[in-house]
Amino acid sequence: NNREQQDLDSTHQLLNSAPSHEQLPAPTLPPKKKLQDTADTHTEDGVSNLASALQEVELGQRGSEEEEEEGVAARPGTLLDFRSQDLAEQLTLLDSELFHKIELPEVLLWSKEQNEERSPHLTRFTQHFNSVSFWVRSVIILQDKAQEREKLLLKFLKVMKHLRKLNNFNSYLSILSALDSAPLRRLDWQRNTFETLEEFSSLIDSSSSFRVYRTALAEVEPPCIPYLGLILQDLTFVHLGNPDTLMTSEGPNVNFSKSWQQFNILDTLRSYQQVRYSLQPDSDIISFFNDFSDHLSEEALWELSLGIRPKNPPRANQR
């Protein structure tokens, strides 16, 4: 126990050395379509089947030196086998492949119609965001022991540090939305862990129109993967807040101010799509991710969360 506590304390010290600007806006998922519930996750068998699936991947020991330096003991067949930087790079590679397929007209169309069939690449990108987020929640909450959950949460925070260095705000926010989700946040965490999560969450401060995130995004040099939720929100505000035409003495004219605002937003997005990452796929990690399909539904996550920490635990002296 003392050894595990020392490991956790060492990891906290490493994470707290992160630059103070590594802080971003709470994701508001743009699509109307909710994540499809994973089959069989509403039953005890479904939960146990998913738990088995997450543990079945047989992988050799990898990255043990980094994990020992970071104070986390690596174990075969789990997320802890991989270096945090490698995980971040593979997440970025998968994000990038989907991001570069998005066409600007479907982004503009989404702000007007939110039609998944007419914005297929954007829809796929957003569904990927959701899948990663629910996968992260599931990986953590399926651990029986509190210290195992703590180690995995800290591991994901380290992955987020590398995502920030890669300018991948999409996966950064996807993981953050998982760690900050109610089923996980309500559990008992060590104070240092909770404080570190709070620091990472500040990049998502929604005050002043997400000023902290916008500033961080404006300062990066491509390659970069922005958080599309805010881009879609900005386009929607422009669309709803401005008429397409303006009445003049000569009749209706095109509202060029609205068109210019839309162009500026889309042109910024286009600039991020022009530069690609120089990353190579890692088949072991990609296989481990398994397209992030092994995840629990929101209902199943809540059931497990309440099983770990009941809502109103009975008092010992209660009659």
Give the model confidence (pLDDT) of 90-126 as tens digits: 999 999 999 999 999 999 999 888 889 899 999 999 9
Residue ranges covered by each domain of the chain: 11-16+40-302
Structure tokens, 170: 């999409």
**Confidence (pLDDT) at 267:** 96
Range list of H helices, 166-206? 169-179, 182-185, 191-201
Measured CA to CA, the distance from residue 73 to residue 75 in angstroms comes to: 7
Which amino acid would we find at residue 54? L
Residue environment code for 186-216, b if the CB has 16+ CB neighbours within 10 A, otherwise e: ebebbebbeebbeebbebbeeeeebebbeeb
Q: Which amino acid is at 210?
A: F
pLDDT band at 218 (very low <50, low <70, confident <90, very high): very high
User: Is the pTM here over 0.85, yes or no?
Assistant: no
11-16+40-302 maps to CATH 1.10.840.10: yes
Q: Yes or no: say if 73 and 63 are a contact pair by the CB < 8 Å rule.
A: no
Per DSSP, the residues of 220-286 read --SS-B--HHHHHHHHHHHHHHS-SEEEETTEEEE-HHHHHHHHHHHHHHHHHHTS-------HHHH
Q: Cis omega (within 30 of 0) on the bond before 223?
A: yes
**pLDDT confidence of residue 45:** 39
Three-state DSSP at 124 gives helix
Provide the residue type at 50 as one letter. Answer: L
In this predicted model, what pLDDT tens digit does every residue of 142-185 receive, in sequence order? 999 999 999 999 999 999 999 999 999 999 999 999 999 999 99
Q: Centre a 10 Å sphere on the Cβ of residue 19 and count the other Cβ atoms it contains.
A: 9
* DSSP H or E stretch at residue 107: helix 104-113
Express as a percent the part of the chain with pLDDT over 90. 59
Least confident of 35-44, 105-114, 224-233, 247-256: 35-44
Residue 2 is predicted with a pLDDT of 56
As given in the structure block, the two tokens for residue 311 are 């809502």
